[in-house]
Structure formats: structure tokens, C-alpha cells
Amino acid sequence: MTNLSRRGFIGSSGLVLAGAAAVSGRSAFAAVPEAPTMTEATTQAPLMPTTGPDYQPVATLNGWSLPWRMNGDWKEFHLVAEPVVREMAPGMKANLWGYNGQSPGPTIEAVEGDKVRIYVTNKLPENTAVHWHGQRLPNGMDGVGGLTQPHIPPGKTFVYEFQLRRSGTYMYHPHSDEMVQMAMGMMGFFVVHPKDPAFRRVDRDFVFLLNAFDIEAGSYVPKVNTMTDFNLWCWNSRVFPGIDPFVVGKNDKVRIRFGNLTMTNHPIHMHGYEFKVSCTDGGWVDPAAAWDEVSIDVAVGQMRAFDFVADELGDWAIHCHKSHHTMNAMGHSVKTYIGVNKKDLAKRIAKIAPGYMPMGSNGMGEMGGMEMPLPDNTLPMMTGFAQFGPVEMGGMFSVVKVREGLAKNDYKDPGWFKHPEGTVAYELKGQKLGEAPRATSPDSGVKSAEWRAKDPRKPSLGPDGKPRPAVKNAHSDH
Ligand SMILES: [Cu+2]
């Protein structure tokens, strides 16, 4: 018997269980542990260790960690693969597939050396299997449907048993109709804490998975066959402004870990600090081998963890540096109109297509502060308001909020940063600028292009006044 279960046995809960078993005549433990479910999409308080070596539990961004039970010297978890409704940001919900009520599934946390038994119940309408990405384990526990085990049919429960040989940063995801099941949101984080509580220890440890969905405006189900042109770029199936902030105390040692289960790479950039990559899904990085970065690219199927000491107070942006990934539900075929005088054009197009709104002539920034009519269950392309106005971001964006005097494990949003006086960029007033000659903008004298609005319902006429033959390629008239 391990130290942990002995402690449980002499505790009061152990006595209650023993008593219940005596009365019912059943084993102290039901054959399959309970499968808890989560109904909220907000970051839940970390799950403190109650048995075994001490460790700093992780905070799963807009997620939670899966409770377990000890059964002898086995740590037992129960995952349920099932359809879920996930709020992706206030104002938009999606019908996804996930585990235990949410997408992604709960984070599994355990300790190096633990023997884990993971029950997986399939409540999906099709087969599944779970692969434990990055783990050293017996081949038959690797979770590749057809290759290392039979697929788990709907309604059935399979059991995975293995010992956690290495501490580190891992994930789990289906290896059965993988493209569809990951496009539907099935995935979860798996953290193995070091046996030595002091090893690479930090004060705050955040985890999230990068995922992407293609959900048409006004609809709820992702298009699972999309390969690259996704319109919702997510951290843990959430988009900004729905992604919770990373709340840290001043001088905390902080670790941020993420894994990429999208179809493209993501250069994750954090403002305000340089950091060092401390861990990948292959294991810990020797500190002597790490160099300072402010952006770290995470390729498809990879995981990265970086560490820094939070010694600069403030609200520091953290985001994917691909600027199309900090947008929500945008149409990529929108034309660029910067510099075009289209006041008149918009009016003419609106006659044919009511509600038409062209991209701004001065850029798209003006859309961040605009209230546009949108279909139900559709998020604005870029929003999120902070203390100085619209942030003009969506998708893979959040804020690292570094504050003084936070209690340990207090992850409550502290609000916006109170900048010390004289430390915010300010408008120059009361002075005349010396002006050198500038290039003229299209609105200042250059002849505007001639625009015509064409009604697609009417045939276009050739120079002879007769309808032109139908054109196959819809792009040929641009
Ligand atoms: Cu990205």
C-alpha cells in the first residue's frame, strides 16, 4: 500500500467508506469511478493534490482538471466521450464533441511514477479511441484504433492502464476517425508532475490547447472537412474576448504550456517579457540549452512550455502572431478597399444586397468599435473592450495580468491595470509640427476609379447590347 492510500484509509472518509461497504455488502469502490461533468466554460480553481507528493496544480484556461480516486495504488479517472455544447465566447455556442461536458476535455493531472487507470466511455454516435500523446507506455495502451486496440464502439467502456514514467507536458486526443473528432473539439491536456516537489517548480502553471473550427455565421456545427480556412482560432475552444486572462502575482515564477491540435503552426508571442522554453511533449529542456525568446512557434502536433519571472506589472498581451488568427469569423474573400472612396459605391451595392457593409476605406480598425447587425450565434470579427477602448482583436488573444499582492492561487480577474502616472502613451497637444511634404493619399486629388454596381440577377450585356455567354469561373471578372 502506498503512502497515499494509507493516508486515505486512516482518514475519516476511509472509515465512512468501510462502514458503507459493511452495510451494503458491496466493495468499498464501485467498479467504475464516477465521471464528473462540467457545465461552465470559465477557468476553474486548480485541483489541489490531496494524496501523494505535493505539487503546484495547473490552471486550465477556461477549463478544469479531472477529479480522480485512489483504488489500491491505482489513480483512477473516468473520461466520457460525448457531444457537448461549448460557449466559445459570450454570444456564441457551438455543438461540439468533447469529454465530460466540455471541449476540450478536462486536464488529467498525476505524478511521475503514478499508476493510472483511465476508463473511457464512448457516448458518441461512432467509434472512438484515446491516444496518450507523448507518454511512454506499453504499445497496447497507445490508443490507436485498429493498430493497438479495437476501436471503442458507441456505448462501450474501455480501460487504459499504465505507469507514468516521465514528468512533463502531454495531451490526449482520439485516434479513431481522428480528423472528424478533432475538428469537432475532442482533445485534452495531460500534465505529469515531478515526483520531487522542488523540481522545476513554479508558482503559477497555465495550460491550454490551440484548436480551430470552421463554423459558418449563424450556425452551430463545425464543418469537419475544412483543411486550412478556419474562421474560429481558439485556445481551449474559446476565442477572445471569451478567453480568460492569465492572472499572476508580481515576481511569481510562471509557466505557460500549450499544445497545437490545429492544421497550421502558431507563433505565440507574449509582450513585456522574454521567456525560456522549459518543456516540450518530448520532455524537459536542459536550462543550459534554452535561450531567451519573446515568440515561440508551435508546430502542428507539438507542445511547448515556457517559463518567466513576472517582475513587470501590467496588462501584457499574449497572442498568436499570425494576425489572421486574432480575428473571429471573418470572410477571407473580403476585398481590400484601403484608399478607395466608396461612399457612393456602398449605397449602390446596398440596393442589390441589403445590409452590405464593405471593409473600411481607412483599414478595418473602425469595425472594432462598430455595432454591426450579425446573424444569431455569430461573434463580431474583432472586439474586446479594455480601459482605453476597443482592442480590435478576436481569436487567439488574451492578457497576462501581473499584479502586486495577489494571494497564492487567486486567479480572479483583477480588472484593468492602474498605470502609474506619466507611464501611458499620450497625445501631443499645443505644438505645431514641422511638416515635410508627404505622398498624397488617393482621396487627395488622385482621380477615383470608376465603380459600377452590377445586379447579379440580371444578365450582363456585351458591347452589342446582347447578354454575354455564361462564365464558368466566378473569379474571372475580378
Ligand atoms: Cu496562429
Q: What is the pLDDT of residues 40-52, one digit of tens each?
A: 999 999 999 998 9
pLDDT bin (cut points 50, 70, 90) of residue 328 is confident
Q: 251 CA to middle of ligand 1, Å?
A: 29
325 CA distance to ligand 1 centroid (A)? 5
Range in 118-127, 129-138, 173-182, 379-388 the model is least confident about: 379-388
More confident residue, 475 or 34: 34
Cα–ligand 1 centroid distance for 234 (angstroms): 9
In this prediction, residue 11 carries a pLDDT of: 31
**pLDDT at residue 474, as a whole number:** 43
Task: Report pLDDT digits (tens) over 22-68.
Answer: 334 444 567 899 999 999 999 999 999 998 999 999 999 999 999 99
Query: What pLDDT does residue 380 have?
Result: 82
List, for residues 259-284, the tens digit of each pLDDT value.
999 999 999 999 999 999 999 999 99
394 CA to centre of ligand 1 in angstroms: 12
b/e sequence 325-347, b meaning 16+ C-beta within 10 Å: bbbbbbeeeeeebeebebeebee
Q: Give the mean pLDDT of 242-268.
A: 97
Query: 92-99 and 253-260: which strand pairing?
Result: unpaired
> How does DSSP classify residue 416?
S
How far, in whole angstroms, is CA 347 from its chain's centroid? 39
As a whole number, the mean pLDDT across the chain is 86
Residues 6+ apart with CB under 8 A from 13: none
Other Cβ atoms less than 10 A from the Cβ of 449: the count is: 10
pLDDT of amino acid 368: 56
Q: What is the mean pLDDT of residues 242-266?
A: 97
* pLDDT on residue 18: 35
Q: Give the distance (Å) from ligand 1 centre to CA of residue 320.
A: 5
pLDDT digits (tens, 9 = 90+) for 279-297: 999 999 999 999 999 999 9
Q: Which domains does the chain possess? A: 1-31 (no CATH), 35-309 (2.60.40.420), 336-377 (no CATH)
> Which residues have CB atoms below 5 A from the ion given as ligand 1?
266, 320, 322, 325
